[in-house]
Structures are given as structure tokens and as C-alpha cells.
Chains A and B, each alone.
Chain A
Amino acid sequence: MRGLATRALVAGTLCLAVLAGMLVMHAWPLWTGRTLYLRVESADADDALMTGLVTLRYAFDVVCVAPGACEEPESRFDNRPPRPALDLPAHGEWAGALAAVEGRDRRRWNDRPLYLQVGLTPTGLEIPATVATPLSVTDQPEPDVIPLRGRLRQAFFYPRVTLDLGLDAIYLTRGAAPEVEAAMKAGTPIFAEIAVASNGQARVKALVVNGRRLE
């Protein structure tokens, strides 16, 4: 039985090591990163499990990397209205390589790392004073711009591509989530406060509504 006891401890150590790795990976931008603000397009606090989850959407979730060339999907998908795509230029060779492949081969591109490059624009508000504005999408970060590291989620309808930056949720205290949704319905601008590490990895820290910081 001693052997099994040791094995149980080894299993526990491995599981704790996985959790520790996740902790470091997730917390790294919070420990080392710079703080930016992103304009939130919609915040949905519809959370059946009452976990305080608020789902966030941004204008750059769906990007048209050939500005002006994105057509609406075929009639088969009429029952699923597509989200409007944000026109952004594609930098680097990835877009040309992706454009060269057909339908089902495009799925091989899913999950590839991409960077949304942003610049800072003044808001005229006290908090936040500046907001990060999307500039381009690239596979190699360029100097003098701030890269947000993400993944290509879906490119089936290229040049419409869906990006996944890992910024689509925040868990607020129970009272705060309905407040955010009410602000959304009232048309009040909502900003996500994020931390961005030097490698572009970003994490949501809080929401800013009417100059108030909610977390």
C-alpha cells in the first residue's frame, strides 16, 4: 500500500503543478504588463448560474482583412445573422497564404497565433484618458505599436476572420453584473481595463463604467 500512497502523492503533485503552471501563465500579464483600455461593444450579464459572468464583445472580434471586400455569407446562413466585420489591414504574409487555400483547407489555419496591433487614442474622459484603437492584424508584431496576442478562431469566410484574444469575459461580484448591463442598455460607454505583457498576452482586469472601476 505504501507504493500506492507514494503514487497518490505523485499524482497530486502533478495536478498541482498543472494548476501552478496555469496560475503563472494567467497571472503573468497582470504581474508584468502595462494597463490599457479597450472600448467594449456589448456586455451581456445573462448568467443562469449566477456566477457574476459578464460576456464581453469588441468591434475587432470579427475582422475583414481585405477592407471593403467582405461579402455577407450565403443564404444558407440567413438564420444566423453575421456580426459586422471591422475593416483592418492585414500585415505580413499570412493573409496571402490563407487566401491561397480553399474551403476546408482553411480550417487548418484555425488556432494559429495572430496579433491585433493597437495604438492609443485620447478619449477626452478623465478615466480612461486613452483607449486602445485597432490598427492592423499581423502574425509578426511590429515595432512602435502595441500587439495583443490572440488566435485565429475561424477563417472559413475569408477575408472575414474571427479573432480570439482571451478577453471575452469578466467575473464580477453579483451586484455589479446587472449594473453593467443596465449601463449597456442606457448607451453608456463601457471600457475594459486590460493588462498586456511584453509578448502581447492580455488579461482583463476590470470594467470601467461612468468613471467607476468594477471588478
Chain B
Amino acid sequence: MAQQSDEPAAVGAQRFDWLKRQVDDWQARGLVGPDQASQILARYSPIGRFSAARAAFGLMGLAVLMAAVALLLVIGYNWDQLAPSARVAIVFGIVGGAFAASAVAYRRGHPRPGEALAFAATLLYGNGIFLLAGVFHIRTHDPDGLFWWMAGTLVTAFLLRSRLITLTALVLLLVWVPFEGAEYARPNYWFLPAAAVAAWLAVRLRAPGLLGLTAAIGALWLDVTGAFAFDEGMAAFGPVVALGAAYVAIGTWGSAPHPGSVARGDPLPPHRSLAGRAVRGLGEGLEDGLGRALVTAGLATIFVSLLPLMSVGAHEDIDVVLAISWPTVAITALFAAVAVALTAVRRRARMDWPILAAAAFAVVWLLTVVTVDVDRGLAIALAVGASALALAFAIWLMRDGASRGSLLQFSAGAAFALGFVGVRWASAVGNLLWSALILGLASASLLWMAWLWRARPALSERSEKTKEA
């Protein structure tokens, strides 16, 4: 790695925008010529934005994935005709071969194909686990197989410092957590070291999205595993809505204390409060990515936890099977208080009312279920409240995302909207008229989303300049 590479260095999109503005300024002052400016910019490649190199890598990854699946299908077609020893040899040969091919690619100085082959090797390794189980007629407790797949993938990501393979490991962790929770409703603390390694990797790789995903999976783990004070099952959904609101509040408050007054990519002014400086200090470690990571995690957490509460029978799963412990209520109130306090002191507090509403709803929902004998009318009211909140979140995220030019936030809003439509449609699926009405409204909403995104105002100085040009 010591040798000089001709490949452009990867930098964050916001930092690249800042550099572009600086280079434009240097050009305007006559410090550098157009050719030099182009050469300077060509040395950097913005991450988090579409680029030719990323597209090529994506296509290469897709090609490797499809080739691996095709190979598996050919093997699978004749699988039951093969002797067990031949099956075992094939599994070991394919996995070992893929890792060896990756090593050869790295050794010859081709990091992209090396990473793509290592990615394929982790997929083949996971398939190998389940194929090996099939050889010995084992299907029991599939989550164990998923866990070992995730562990091997995470180790590979750790050794190769690969974002793609880390993302793969996190997707496997995301599948394993609810699967394990559904199979055995008891805390499985193996999640904690796996999440710690994933979080550390996300920080080392400067990947706020991966860190946010890790935090969101952590919330899901609390939801389904019944660890700590979160009792079990549905009892955790209320607290975790509040936790999600707290994530969003901390993320937005800590990383952007003066939104609106600061153009995207500009260095942020120093924060006055001690806590603000502390959060800012953490954020700088990730190029201000920690805040975005927390916002991503918070939105995903609220999404995961709010949708089940839209069910009219949600409270019964706690009321009948389990009692909620008071520490759970206290933790919910604590998370909600953090969300309310941080959101209220922000300048754009009026824009963030859905965060406040989510935090407040979690507390009200939990207190209602704990203290009141919930009849059908109240159960419907709680489900309608959760539905209204999900819809409000969707609209707020899309509008705010469109106005700020944030594709992430806009996409999160679209996901909320689709989740809302899915849950409500599932509850009306037996009624053709209601189904038609819901799908018709969903269709109109999608058109509105498309219009909203196309009509979004240009926010950054750079895009305004582009418009003027």
C-alpha cells in the first residue's frame, strides 16, 4: 500500500463539494489555471455519490454475484445425485477457490476484483454452511447457520477492511436477529460482540451509513430478544420508538446546530455548550458522519418499531402474555425526555414535531397499556394513533428531505409511506373496496412523491451556480 496509486482518493461528498468551491475560488483569484484545477479535482473521488468507478464496481459485484448463483444452480440441479463425500468436496473446493482467487487478485494489484471475489467467497461460504447441513439432514435451528455465516463474513470484512463485505455481514446480522428472536425468545448476547466489531469497522471505514445500520439493528435486537429491562416481544416496541426518537434528536442536534445558516459542506461553527462540543468532537471523527449515522439509525428504529404498533391487537401481546415492568416505562420516559429536550432547543424545532410526537406516543402508549384495561375502542384508538404518526413521519421526511435535497431522508419517508400502505392494506386485504381505495391513494401518493422530488429547490451554493450557468 506504500506505493503511489493513480486511482483518485476517496473523500466524502461534502468535503469534495467544499474542495470544489475552494478550487473555483482559487481559479477566480488566478492562483490556478483551469487545467490545474481539473487535475486537482481529478485526484479525488467523492464517496456517497454516483461515480463511474463506483458504478463499474457495482456492475462487477453484480456480475460476480450472478455467476456465483449460476454456479450454485448448476450444482444444485445435480446435488441429490452426488455422493456425500463429493458434496463436501465441492463445498470446500468452491469456498477455498473463491478466497484463493481473491488473494491472487490482491497480490496482482487489483483491489476491486479482489474485493468482489472475496464478497463472492463469503456468499459461497454461507451457501456452503447450508449445503453441508443438508448433507447431514440438518435443518434444525437455522439461525445458528446464519450466525456462523455472519461471523465469517464479518471476519473477512475486518481483515480486508471492505465496506461491501461489512454491509453483507450487517444484512446477515439484520436477518439473524429477528430469526433468532422468533426461534428462541431469550436474550442472545452473541449479538453484542458482533455489533461492536461492525461498529468499529464502520468507524474505521468512515462509513456513517454502516454505523447507523448497526445502531438500528441494535434497536431491533432490543425489540425481539428481550434483553435487559425490555422484557419480551411487544413490550420492547414502545421503548424502542422512544430510543429511535432520541437517536434522531441527538443526531440532528449534535451534527447540525445551525441548519439553514450553513451551506452543505461548509465547516460548521463551534458549538457553545459542553455537550454540543462533545457530540461535535465525536462527529468530527467521522467527518460529521456520526450525526447522520444516528439520524439514519433513529429513522430505521422508529420505522421498525412503529409499524407493529399499528396493529389493533398489539397491546394484547403484552397484556395477555406478559406484564410490562416499570423499568421499561422509566427507560422509555428517559429516551423520550432526551428526544424532547434536544429537539426543543433546536432552532428548527417546529420542523421536527414528528420526533416529539413519536417520543410522546411511545410513553403514552406504554402507560395506557400498563395502567388502563384496554378495550377494543381504546385498542383501535392506539392503532389509529400509531398509523397517523407513521403517515405524518412519512410526509414530514419526504417534504423535509426534498426541501433539503437529502435523498436519504426522502427515501426514508418513502419507506415509511410504503410501510404504512403495506400494514394498512394487510388489515383490509379481505375488503376489495378498501383495498382499491388504499392502493389508489398509494398510487396518487407515489405520483406526489415524484413531483415533490423533481420540484425540490436547489439548496447548495454549487447547484445554484450550476443553475445560473
Contacts and interface: CB of A to CB of B under 8 A. Distances in A.
B132 interface: yes
Interface stretch (A20-28, A32-40, A182-190): A20-28
B185 interface: yes
Contact of B152 (A14, A23, A76, A103): A14
Interface in B300-322: 316, 320-322
Interface string B68-98: 0000000000001100000010011001101
A130 interface: no
B125 A4 contact: no
Given A1-B109, A5-B107, A15-B152, A203 B128 contact: no
Contact of A108 (B96, B103, B148, B186): B186
Interface string B181-208: 0001110000000000000000000000
Contacts of A103: 321-322
Interface stretch (B155-163, B258-266, B338-346): B155-163
A12 B99 contact: yes
A4 B106 contact: yes
B189 to A, nearest CB: 12
Interface stretch (A118-126, A139-147, A162-170): A162-170
B232 A52 contact: no
Nearest to B125: A15
A5 B231 contact: no
Contact of B320 (A76, A164, A205): A76
A5 B80 contact: no
B63 interface: no
A104 B103 contact: no
Interface residues of B, number: 54
A141 to B, nearest CB: 20
B114 interface: yes
Interface in B99-116: 99-100, 102-104, 106-109, 111, 114
Contacts of A66: none
A99 interface: no
Sorting the interface of chain A by its residue count into under 10, 10 to 19, 20 to 34 or 35 or more gives 35 or more
A26 B134 CA distance: 10
Contacts of B226: 104, 107
A71 interface: no
A5 B129 contact: no
B141 interface: yes
A214 B57 CA distance: 47
A210 interface: no
A10 interface: yes
Contacts of B104: 5
Given A19-B129, A22-B129, A110-B186, A12 B80 contact: no
A26 to B, nearest CB: 4
Interface of B: 1, 80-81, 88, 91-92, 95-96, 98-100, 102-104, 106-109, 111, 114, 118, 121-122, 125, 128-129, 132-141, 148, 151-152, 155-156, 159-160, 184-186, 226, 231-232, 316, 320-323
CB-based closest 5 A-B pairs = A12-B99, A169-B139, A26-B136, A5-B107, A5-B106
12 contacts: A2-B106, A6-B103, A8-B99, A12-B99, A15-B156, A16-B92, A20-B92, A22-B148, A104-B226, A107-B226, A166-B140, A169-B138
